[in-house]
Amino acid sequence: MPTANRGQKMRTVIIGLDAFDPTVFERLAAQGKMPILEKYTKTGGYSRFGVSNPPQSEVSWTSIATGLDPGSHGLFDFVHRDPANYGLSVSVLPTRKDIFGTRFIPPNQASTIFDQAVRQGYPATVLWWPATFPARPESPVRTLPGFGTPDIHGRLGVGSLFTVDHSLQGESFKTSIEILDNHGANRYAGALKGPRRKRGHEIHHSLARINLEIFDYKTASLTIGKVKLDLVVGQWSPIIEVNFKINHFYSLWGITRVIMTQARPEPRLYFLPLQIHPFKTPWRYASSRSFAKQVWKSAGPFLTLGWPQDTTALEEGWIGDNQFLDLCETIFRTRERILNFHISQMKDGILASVFDTLDRIQHMYWRDRPDVIEAWYLKLDRLVGSVEDRLMDRSNGETNLVIVSDHGFTTFDHKVHLNRWLIERGYLVSLKDTETGSLKEIDWPASNAYAAGLNSLYLNLKGRETQGCVSAEDRHNISLRLRDELMAWRGPDGRPVIQEVYSRADAFSGHLSELSPDFIIGYANGFRASAETGLGSWKSASIEENHDHWSGDHCVDPHIVPGVIFFNQGVSNFPAPTFREFPAIALGMEIEQRNSPPPRLSKEDQAAVEERLKGLGYL
């Protein structure tokens, strides 16, 4: 493997630009709109970047950090399934039960470029990298975790709407609908629900009481515990620290932000998901707690949820486009400020920071707002220019700067209900003749295949699945027939639904490959698995038009959505760079790898798992 040109001292900064698409970049660069990053194209410092299969964020960023495909690090999809009971598990947020209750555990144990830097005697700081929650207390790598970090309830993030409209509680929303009680004279009261607590034999939510006083059509005052805020319609509050009393001796802190979207005639408040306080928490949020406290005190407060850009609130209509974009802007500026703080402190080693807001922007505006998307590409170009200037001031340009994305982006015109297609073709047999259903209602001894996750397809193998029926002798023929029929599938306009069906051997290598899906479905441009497919369910039709605000995606064939890589030392030694070469590019060396243990499958009630997944925009 070729290595990059290095001096004796390691000093590397990695800027992760989640979902930065090469086609969009190259078009804007050709128009002269990306002056900073365009320089790399003229000096041999730019290339398209081969990403993981499947090109899901938690999979891809883990492959970039380790140089391994999922067959060696063990993250195969947002959702894993347990062959012992066909139950689902959140791959990026696995749990373990012990005498202390349910605990979160690291989603994988593979060695990373950051671990390798520490082994070489250098410090490593990692900001917002996906799949790094919970923190590993034994690791000297300093981390603030990214995607996969839960809210205070252990979910991937669901906010709360406060309203006087009781009818909303009877409808089906991801968002928690809470009631504001009218106390007369423009005064209202309610309660934020915190972590559950046990009193006697009963379990209830801990509560933080809120009081709202409306002044006019635009302004109000909100009190939460000892915190008092002035609210203006359409404007987000600063980050609020909220205290929940668990018992007489113990309290737990969370953080959130609130926006008043309407004051009169009836008030309406929306709270972001209650998030882990970075250093007032029993959970292993950061490595270490003192590091999180230092960042908070030195660079300012920050949201901790792995997906803080609240796409669910926008999708369900609780906030508008401008309010969502304002939220995204403040998240971006906060992360930029924290990165700048660490650049100012850096002497040597490796510093990495992932900026993931572009991903959320493209999910929500790919179809209808190219102007918004373009503005964010230009914003990220300026970010790189600012980092370059700071590194020049700090180290006279003697820092290796790498900019990388985990995947590109494409259209999402049609939702694919893969389990419905399997039913129509006789591969999956439901016990109920209904338009909708789930894997809880399957005649397993008569079923050959099933789907769970956004790109995963499994055979119902005898001896592996608890009620498997596909024998070793039949496996090859069934696999060939299934692949041929999937490749022949056409959408409403005659286009292929699937670009490629990858077998386990095609997609993965490594000691964990035997735990992987039997097939990875590489969806064609414009198609993606439905949220129902991700959760092992289905609707009445195998293909459904997508009219959601969420109109772009990347969980397709990886060749459709390559990433990008920019390197100030040039990439000429890497003619077709992929995640496998990233350690050599970033550090000039390979990672010392050992066979990591397999990922754990959470033994939780499926209702709890589905509740945890509810905050994930993809599902």
**Residue-wise pLDDT tens digits, 116-131:** 999 999 999 999 999 9
Structure tokens at 280: 């007032």
Rounded average pLDDT over 259-276: 97
Alpha-carbon gap, residue 405 to 399, rounded angstroms: 20
Alpha-carbon gap, residue 579 to 71, rounded angstroms: 14
Question: Could you give the domains of the chain?
Answer: 14-146+276-304+323-407+561-613 (3.40.720.10), 160-271 (no CATH), 413-553 (3.30.1360)
Assign 64 to helix, strand or coil. helix
- Whether the pLDDT of residue 229 is over 90: the answer is yes
Task: Report the candidate in 50, 27, 49, 53 with the shortest Cα–Cα distance to residue 38.
Answer: 27
Instruction: Provide the whole-model pTM.
Output: 0.95
Q: Say what the pLDDT of residue 312 is.
A: 95
Helices (H) and strands (E) in the chain, counts: 16, 33
Task: Please provide the DSSP assignment of 75-95 as one string.
Answer: --SSEEEETTTTEEEETTS-E
Q: Say what the pLDDT of residue 599 is.
A: 76
318 class by beta-carbon count within 10 Å (0-12 exposed, 13-18 middle, 19+ buried): buried
3-state helix, strand, coil in the chain (%, to 5): 30, 30, 45
The packing angle between helices 370-395 and 35-42, to 10°, is 70
The answer to whether 524 and 498 are in contact (CB under 8 A) is: yes
pLDDT digits (tens, 9 = 90+) for 190-220: 999 998 887 767 788 889 999 999 999 999 9
Alpha-carbon gap, residue 457 to 480, rounded angstroms: 14
Alpha-carbon gap, residue 258 to 202, rounded angstroms: 30
Alpha-carbon gap, residue 329 to 337, rounded angstroms: 12
Rounded average pLDDT over 43-52: 97
Q: How confident is the model at residue 3 (pLDDT cuts 50, 70, 90)?
A: very low
Pairing of strands 498-503, 519-523: antiparallel
Given the structure tokens 């459904």, which residue do they identify? 544
The answer to whether 256 and 274 are in contact (CB under 8 A) is: yes
Alpha-carbon gap, residue 354 to 259, rounded angstroms: 26
H, E, C per residue of 156-177: CCCCEEEECCHHHHHCCCCCEE
Alpha-carbon gap, residue 581 to 7, rounded angstroms: 19
Structure tokens at 497: 């639904």
Alpha-carbon gap, residue 434 to 440, rounded angstroms: 13
pLDDT digits (tens, 9 = 90+) for 298-330: 999 999 999 999 999 999 999 999 999 999 999
Q: What is the DSSP letter of 598?
A: P
Q: How confident is the model at residue 5 (pLDDT cuts 50, 70, 90)?
A: very low
Q: Say what the pLDDT of residue 159 is.
A: 96
Buried b / exposed e along 606-618 (16+ C-beta atoms within 10 A):
beebbbbbbbbbb
Element (H, E) at 532: helix 531-534
- Whether the pLDDT of residue 551 is over 70: the answer is yes
**Cross-strand bridge partners of residue 198:** 203
Q: How confident is the model at residue 8 (pLDDT cuts 50, 70, 90)?
A: low
The answer to whether 408 and 20 are in contact (CB under 8 A) is: yes
